[in-house]
Amino acid sequence: MVNKINLKIIFSLVTALIVFQTVNAEEKIAYRVEIKGVADETLKEALLSYSVTQKQQLSAPSSVFVLKQRAKKDFPLFIKLLHSKAYFNSKIKISLEKKETQQVLIFHIELGQQYQLQQVIIHQNTNYLKKPTLEQLKLTLNQPALTETILAAEQYLLMYAKNKSYAFAKLCPRKVTVNHDLQTVNLDLCLKTGQQVYIGDVSFTGNKHVDASFLKNLIQWQSGTLYNQKTLDAQRLKLVDSRLFTVARLNLATKADDKGHFPVIFKLTERLPRTISAGLRLTTDDELFLLRFAWEHRNLWQQGEAIDAELNISMIKSSLEVSFRKPVFYHPKNTLVVDSALISEDTDAFKSLRSEFSVAIEHQINKRQRFNIGLAYQFSRVTEENKTTESFNLMSIPTRFSWDFSDNFLEPTSGGRLWVDERPFYDLGSGATFHKQKIRYNHYLSLTISNDLILAGRMIIGNIWGAEINDIPADLRYFAGGGDTVRGYSFQSLSPKNKQGQIIGGRSLFALSLELRSWITDSIGLVGFLDAGRAYASAYQDFGDLKMGAGLGLRYKTPIGSIRLDLARPLNKREEDDEFQVYISIGHTF
């Protein structure tokens, strides 16, 4: 009897729970959020991103009353955002409309007029520091008083003082006066400058395996000069750019030394000195694949000396290259570079085995520009397709000017990169001389504010003059066709041929590429590209018979660069050309 009663109680509780959940589920209100009265789509999206109601759509409320209470939580959030956009007299209302199976919660917003900035006053506790102009602060009277503009002006004011030697400058609370009758804003900015500061001696912490004397030479420290935040930040970046440290922080002592100067301390975190890396490129042309293995040591003898070795293996070219770099070589902006290489090539045009050795000085003109000049020796044994074999002993003076003014090393969206190479050669055996020149320029243009649509272009111009084609080693001539010049055509296939139809290479080169890069997600991108070019037998391009290739590509962004998959076909297809070529590698084409 007791068991039956217990079973009835349990059954009743379960039934009641099911009924309660069913009723409760029926009372749940599905809804979506709309904003009316705001024409600016960017502002509308910003309002929705602030909205609690929008974020909690999946958690449906149990009644209309609860939904309206939830919506009211958005009012202060919206007002705060609208104030930041200089809308100080906005009005917000809500309404509900039943559409199909859900409610539509509508925020009706009357923006009103944006209040204008009428007056700006800067208060500071010294007359020795000239106040920045409104133009420098990027503030314009009779324009909307946007919070982001005001905050940016405030930060500029602070950095302005620090760059004028007031290292301990601080901002004091700003005053924003809103006049609702005139719909204007008056702004009072406040700065406490503190004293002018002369920097003292520099010291370092955390540099366990890097010599402090090397670091002092690297950053060109001058004790006793007036403090300048911009200059000190530039010195800090030099330490990071040395690739010896992951972190470099700058601290200024709070007390002056005996000379009245304030010592500076760089707190450093050393980077592991060795790096091992590998890479893979796949193509459907003669190369088929390229395997790359590299090893680097960045601090051999505690003076930032670096040595790296790289091994490349493919079906047409294999190489072992070793490079040594000694920074601060008799001048803080000079680097000694010693390169050596052993290279084997087997292409449709020639077979060669050569060794190279060079010594050069790389001078850093500024942060973005560099100039190299050196002396090089090259021995090569070259067999051309006509079975002729020759040996060459070449001395040369390689020079290069490079200028990188792009905005990002791995994923550039604006700016460009320029390389200009000039290299006179002298054959120690035959006495022949010739010059090899090459200019390469890449440019990047963002077509959208969000940088998700990029137009990229590349141009390559090469010339060899001063000697006939037979006096120039085949492995130094210019060739076109393949992933590095014109995609869609086989490797070297757009190059001059002899009377027997064998590829021999040329004395000039022209190649032009355009890519439209679109990122459809944060990590996945699509690319459409068009390439054109060829190599010519003459020393100067006649731009005749240009061949063009086009295709589509897929990009997948990773921390080490984009994985690239390109499918290209020749637009001027010849009998010997394939229908298409496929290229897979890491990094953009250019």
How far CA 203 is from CA of 133, 268, 270, 305, 319, in Å, comes to 37, 11, 15, 21, 43
Task: Judge if 98 and 65 occupy the same domain.
Answer: yes
* Predicted local confidence at residue 13, as pLDDT: 54
Distance CA 405, CA 383 (A): 41
Task: Judge if 154 and 103 occupy the same domain.
Answer: no
> Which strand (E) or helix (H) includes residue 237?
helix 229-241
SS3 459: strand
Q: Which of 335, 275, 330 is nearest to 304 (CA)?
A: 335
* Predicted local confidence at residue 7, as pLDDT: 52
* Predicted local confidence at residue 11, as pLDDT: 52
> Which strand (E) or helix (H) includes residue 521?
none
Task: Judge if 426 and 505 occupy the same domain.
Answer: yes
Q: Per-residue pLDDT tens for 88-141?
A: 999 999 999 888 778 899 999 999 999 999 999 999 988 889 999 999 999 999
End-to-end CA distance of the chain: 86
Task: Judge if 580 and 448 occupy the same domain.
Answer: yes
Specify the residue for token string 């731009």.
543
Task: Judge if 250 and 279 occupy the same domain.
Answer: no
Q: Which of 110, 85, 101 is nearest to 30 (CA)?
A: 101
The β-bridge partners of 295 are 276, 309
Distance CA 433, CA 163 (A): 54
Distance CA 245, CA 247 (A): 6
Q: Which of 70, 113, 332 is nearest to 219 (CA)?
A: 332
> Which strand (E) or helix (H) includes residue 550?
strand 547-558
Which DSSP category does 64 fall into? Answer: H
Distance CA 422, CA 429 (A): 22
Is-contact 473 487, C-beta < 8 A?
Answer: no
Task: Judge if 217 and 83 occupy the same domain.
Answer: no
Each residue's pLDDT tens digit in the chain (590 positions)?
445 555 555 555 544 444 444 344 445 788 989 999 999 998 999 999 999 999 888 888 888 888 888 999 999 999 999 999 999 999 999 999 888 778 899 999 999 999 999 999 999 988 889 999 999 999 999 999 999 999 999 999 999 999 999 999 999 999 999 999 999 999 999 999 988 999 999 999 999 999 999 999 888 888 889 999 998 998 999 898 889 999 999 999 988 888 889 999 999 999 999 999 988 888 887 788 899 999 999 999 999 999 999 999 999 999 999 999 999 999 989 999 999 999 999 998 899 999 999 999 999 998 899 999 999 999 999 998 777 888 999 999 999 999 999 998 888 999 999 999 999 999 998 888 999 999 999 999 999 988 889 999 999 999 999 999 988 999 999 999 998 999 999 999 999 998 888 899 999 999 999 999 999 988 899 999 999 999 999 999 988 889 999 999 999 988 777 899 999 999 999 999 999 999 999 888 89
* Predicted local confidence at residue 1, as pLDDT: 46
Is-contact 552 252, C-beta < 8 A?
Answer: no
What letter represents residue 379's amino acid? F
Task: Judge if 211 and 156 occupy the same domain.
Answer: no
Task: Judge if 409 and 307 occupy the same domain.
Answer: yes
* Predicted local confidence at residue 197, as pLDDT: 92
* Predicted local confidence at residue 434, as pLDDT: 96
| Angle, vertex CA 409, rays to CA 406 and CA 412, nearest 5 | 55
* Predicted local confidence at residue 12, as pLDDT: 53
The tokens describing 354, both together, are 């050569």
Distance CA 376, CA 323 (A): 13
Task: Judge if 345 and 394 occupy the same domain.
Answer: yes
Task: Judge if 476 and 413 occupy the same domain.
Answer: yes
> Which strand (E) or helix (H) includes residue 323?
strand 317-327
CB neighbour list of residue 520: distance below 8 Å, 6 or more residues apart: 452, 526
Q: What is the CATH number of the domain that holds 573?
A: 2.40.160.50
Q: Per-residue pLDDT tens for 67-83?
A: 888 999 999 999 999 99
Query: Hey, which bits of 365-487 come out as E strands?
Result: 369-384, 389-396, 399-404, 415-427, 433-446, 453-465
The last residue of one of the domains, among 91, 110, 129, is 110
The last residue of one of the domains, among 139, 172, 192, is 192
The last residue of one of the domains, among 149, 167, 192, is 192
| Domain count along the chain | 4
For residues 399, 400, 401 and 405, what is the CA-based torsion angle, rounded to 10 degrees?
A: -170
The tokens describing 402, both together, are 């490079």
Q: Which of 88, 150, 83, 162 is nearest to 122 (CA)?
A: 150
Task: Judge if 402 and 540 occupy the same domain.
Answer: yes
* Predicted local confidence at residue 126, as pLDDT: 86
Beta-sheet pairing, 199-205 with 262-270: parallel
Task: Judge if 76 and 163 occupy the same domain.
Answer: no
The β-bridge partners of 440 are 419, 460
| Structural domain boundaries enclosing 580 | 274-586
Q: Which of 363, 381, 380 is nearest to 372 (CA)?
A: 363
> Helical H runs in 28-94?
41-50, 52-55, 64-72, 74-84
Within a 13 Å sphere around the CA of 107, how many CA atoms are in the beta-carbon half? Answer: 28
> Which strand (E) or helix (H) includes residue 556?
strand 547-558
Q: What is the CATH number of the domain that holds 63?
A: 3.10.20.310
How are the residues of the chain apportioned to helix, strand and coil, as percentages rounded to the nearest 5?
A: 20, 45, 35
The tokens describing 111, both together, are 């923006």
